Structure 1
């Protein structure tokens, strides 16, 4: 009698499968829906001049992002905590490389590294992912001991946040720097830090913003953006014209919109960078108030599910999920706000919807972090997931 041994899946694969089964499918489906909706909006914004080129690139970026997220999900919680310092140091090295001759300047900001294969990466986007795991590593010890972070831990957390913020401001990229600061404040608050520390961090952030406005840190292009926000009539043939066209596109959408591919302003190509900075205006003009509201509802659902994952997770997972939720929330508020003329134009992309590989990769890595740590509930007694 011949016995045939049945192949047993590797332990790591079983752990990943368990995490996927225990993951928040609503969170995953919402992120995928936003990504695919982004493909539709990017196609509509760029088809008159480029056909399906940007659509194909957006879908390729999405496919790569999903593969990257899948690879990250292979790391269990202990492995993720082990690689967090290395990920943080690599992000600092990439941000420093941007300021070297390897970096490229676009719209007054030296934020990109052009790769030999024709792709470009924006290290500031990936720094958000690294900070979402590095900062919780600094503060989780206090949370696990059920006490507020002490002065040494808060100061170390300030250094961990401050280094990438300074490197990003040196590019200069004020929008990404503000996201990193907000992410740090959110995680610090979730760790139970005392209110004087939070007030101090907030005052420090305000001081940094004031310094950016009153010193030569910002480029002239970025100063022009802020000038137009304060005075919409300024620069009527440049940035002022652009923002006025965005508002006109949004207001012309009405209740149900002109229909995909039918928006007069969108299809005329009057709005530069509409597939990136102003993709929300495509939804508002061509899908109307109902379509724009659907986009907001999807983001609300996404952030609510991240909050639920934080509530269900252990201490480390809670801080990671709060970091990701804060990151997404700030970018959505800023991007939609600048489309509506309520916030200055900072160039921050709309998560999942805007065209851009670095943003898509970072957003899906953020989702993978939340899914990975969120699959370990407070009641788990065995942390060895895979």
Structure 2
């Protein structure tokens, strides 16, 4: 009798495990990225017509490898990786430092390390390590005073500086945004969040119209005064912070940015000022998207894409190939898939068992959302060229693998939240 009961328990266990496997494999969190990889592989093939010189197979195989890697990670409870996070963080910092001595320089930027048979981009690894380590710190203590912000900012500032001076403006912006997203999710007072975000506007006002600062700085001080018990001290701290941003802005503009980066930040307002130089990418990208019309020219049939009018179209400007060959409806379909993916990630974060897991997933969602928005704005001419890739679609093996690892972490969190509900 006891033997019969144990056999029934084993049967139920295996049936449940098989059911969970099917849920993982057909989860929108995994199916949507894989669909985006297949679509972009065809677009990359269209950009690079010659089979032997095309990266579409590399992109496709990397995506499939990432798919199975995500499934594997989904069975690992995130709590088990906590003890490895600090070493992982310092290893990622070490790889960023190695770039300055042993890095591979492409188009004037030193961002890759070669390990013989393959090369990788440490800044992509640093994004993940920063999310994980920041979640570890924010889980332990809520943000209730200025002192509570010191350690989180130290964790972010070190990789940010190393990445910014590679130079890699795009990834450094991603680090800032994911930090803001995770601080907001950790229930930092909304006024504090606004004060930090508004540092970006302080810098922009200084560059565009310094006279606006006469009104802007007192407003920041007033906002700080209203949002803290230690009103005078916090107001002085806020004014000092924004004054520091004003002092650092010309230094970063002069010494932190390369000439081509300055051109990109300025020329998106009027790319026709330099149609054969800094504005060339933006102009050709808008022409390609516009020529696609409603339905597009068809896969592999884009004239501007086939003739390679847009440099590096398979990486940063893959969305322009999508617009030309699949048209407005194709773009809407892809954006809908991204919308569903981000929505699922936010829902997983809301239902996570622990704050640690929740913070990790919201950091991942913030990263994906910012990259999607900036890349889209860049390709349609509403933003400067920053070199930020489109998740799962832009060619880049390191970025693609890291993105699938992030999906694996989300699936792991989802599995644990489901098992909690089933108990």
The answer to whether 1:249 aligns with 2:288 is yes
Aligned-partner Cα distance in 1 for 2:274–2:392 = 31
Give runs of aligned pairs for residues 97-112 of structure 1, distance below 5 A: 97-100=98-101, 102-112=102-112
CA RMSD of aligned residues (A): 2.9
Counterpart of 1:33 in structure 2 is 35
Q: Could you tell me which of 337, 356, 368 is aligned with 1:316?
A: 356
User: CA contact under 8 A between 1:228 and 1:234: conserved in structure 2?
Assistant: yes
SS at match of 1:85: helix
C-alpha deviation, 1:112, in angstroms:
1.1
Counterpart of 2:319 in structure 1 is 280
**Structure 1 residues 327 and 31, CA gap change in structure 2 (3 angstroms):** same
**Structure 1 residues 133 and 21, CA gap change in structure 2 (3 angstroms):** farther
C-alpha deviation, 1:51, in angstroms:
5.3
The answer to whether 1:175 aligns with 2:207 is no
C-alpha deviation, 1:149, in angstroms:
4.5
Aligned-partner Cα distance in 2 for 1:88–1:73 = 21
SS at match of 1:193: coil
The answer to whether 1:163 aligns with 2:162 is no
SS at match of 1:177: helix
The answer to whether 1:291 aligns with 2:330 is yes
Give runs of aligned pairs for residues 127-206 of structure 1, distance below 5 A: 127-142=126-141, 148-204=143-199
SS at match of 1:178: helix
**Structure 1 residues 213 and 244, CA gap change in structure 2 (3 angstroms):** farther
User: CA contact under 8 A between 2:143 and 2:149: conserved in structure 1?
Assistant: no
Aligned-partner Cα distance in 2 for 1:136–1:15 = 31
Aligned-partner Cα distance in 1 for 2:422–2:156 = 31
Aligned-partner Cα distance in 1 for 2:157–2:195 = 14
The answer to whether 1:88 aligns with 2:97 is no
The answer to whether 1:372 aligns with 2:373 is no
Give unmatched runs, 5+ long, in structure 2: 204-244
Q: Could you tell me which of 279, 289, 303 is aligned with 2:342?
A: 303
C-alpha deviation, 1:16, in angstroms:
9.3
Larger Rg: 2
1:302-335 alpha-carbon deviations (Å, 9 max, x no partner): 1000011011112222111100000000000011
C-alpha deviation, 1:235, in angstroms:
2.4
Counterpart of 1:363 in structure 2 is 403
User: CA contact under 8 A between 1:108 and 1:222: conserved in structure 2?
Assistant: no
C-alpha deviation, 1:337, in angstroms:
0.6
User: CA contact under 8 A between 2:178 and 2:366: conserved in structure 1?
Assistant: yes
C-alpha deviation, 1:203, in angstroms:
4.3
SS at match of 2:389: coil
Counterpart of 1:231 in structure 2 is 270
User: CA contact under 8 A between 1:139 and 1:149: conserved in structure 2?
Assistant: no
1:26-73 alpha-carbon deviations (Å, 9 max, x no partner): 1111111111111111111112x4557312111222233234434433
**Structure 1 residues 211 and 140, CA gap change in structure 2 (3 angstroms):** farther
C-alpha deviation, 1:107, in angstroms:
2.2
C-alpha deviation, 1:214, in angstroms:
2.2
User: CA contact under 8 A between 1:22 and 1:375: conserved in structure 2?
Assistant: no
Aligned-partner Cα distance in 1 for 2:85–2:15 = 23
The answer to whether 1:53 aligns with 2:54 is yes
Report the more deviating stretch, 120-129 or 190-199: 190-199
SS at match of 2:36: helix
SS at match of 1:233: helix
SS at match of 1:113: strand
C-alpha deviation, 1:381, in angstroms:
9.3
Give unmatched runs, 5+ long, in structure 1: none
Aligned length in residues: 369
Aligned-partner Cα distance in 1 for 2:112–2:44 = 21
